[in-house]
Structures are given as C-alpha cells and as structure tokens.
Amino acid sequence: MLTTLKTVYTDTCAADLAWTLGREPLPALATLELELADARMELRLLGASHQVLLEEDQGTCSETVACIPGSSTPLPLGVSKRLGDWEYEFAARVETLSRGQFAGRAQELLALVAEHPHGLAGVFPGSPHAFTAMLAQRHEGSVQWRTWHAYPQDGQLVATRTRVGVRTPAAL
C-alpha cells in the first residue's frame, strides 16, 4: 500500500533516528494491520518514521525507529536480545547515494513495497523521494520486517531488518 502522508516534511537526517523497544503506540499517519499465521502485526508510519507492533501467543513486541526529541538511544548497527520466549534481532545500515542513484533506488523500493500485500509506504509532501517504507513476512517460524527511511536532501537511505522468533535451545 502506498500513501501520501498528510504532514509537513521537515528536514531530518539519518543521524537523528533513534531505536527503542517497548514504547507505547505513537500517533500514526498511516497503518497496515496484518495477520501472519498466528501473529498479529500493525505496521505504523509516524511523522518521525516507523513503529511495528507485534502480538503472538508468546507475547508482544513494540519496535520504534524514529526521530524522537530527547531520545537517548541512537540507531544501533545491530541488536540481539531475548524478549521472554523470543529472540529479537535488529540490524541497520545507512547508505549514501548520488542524486541519480538515490532517485532510482527510491523508485525501486516504493514499487516493491506498494505492490506487496504486506507492504506499507508513505511519501512525504515536498519530495517524491522522501519516504518511509515497511515490508513484513513470516518465514520459518519467525516474523520479519524490513524498513527504509529516505533522506533525499542528504542522499541517505537507512535500511533496517528485524527478526523476531521463538528461542531455540542450544545444541549440545
């Protein structure tokens, strides 16, 4: 699903993104509710980036990656945590692209997400390449999602990948 977000686009940058787990739902500009097997998910586009709410029999998970004033947790390159019966894995990377590369990559990602039944993308007013996009799937007993946050004024694209799944006992 592709939507134009009804908000003022402010020039933020990749360095302003922060990551948190367990945050309460924040006001969303667009949402997509999904049922992936026994998992209930809500993909949420915020004025400041994204939030994913996940609920399964094993528990709940709330991931927020956003430009939140006063946040003290910058965007990490990687996180691996136990959340009750779950293993939570998060990875992020920032790409800096030329203007032409950025425009091409933006069009490619928006087309991919807009046509996917578990995808949500929002374009900010003022630039067709200022967007946040999210894509979710269920794979081999885990729930996974990817996100992209575009900052055309800096030629930066932030990509994240998250996997949440039931912990498996270590082999002896």
Residues 64-120 have pLDDT tens digits of: 998 877 766 678 889 999 988 889 999 999 999 999 999 999 999 999 999 999 999
Collapse the DSSP code of 46 into the 3-class scheme (helix H, G, I; strand E, B; otherwise coil) and give the result.
Answer: strand
Distance CA 19, CA 65 (A): 5
Longest distance between any two alpha carbons in the chain, whole Å: 56
**Considering Cα of 163, then 168, then 170, then 171, what sign does the dihedral take?**
negative
Structure tokens belonging to residue 27? 């006001």
143 vs 6, more confident: 143
Contact 20, 64 (CB under 8 A): yes
pTM of the entire structure?
0.90
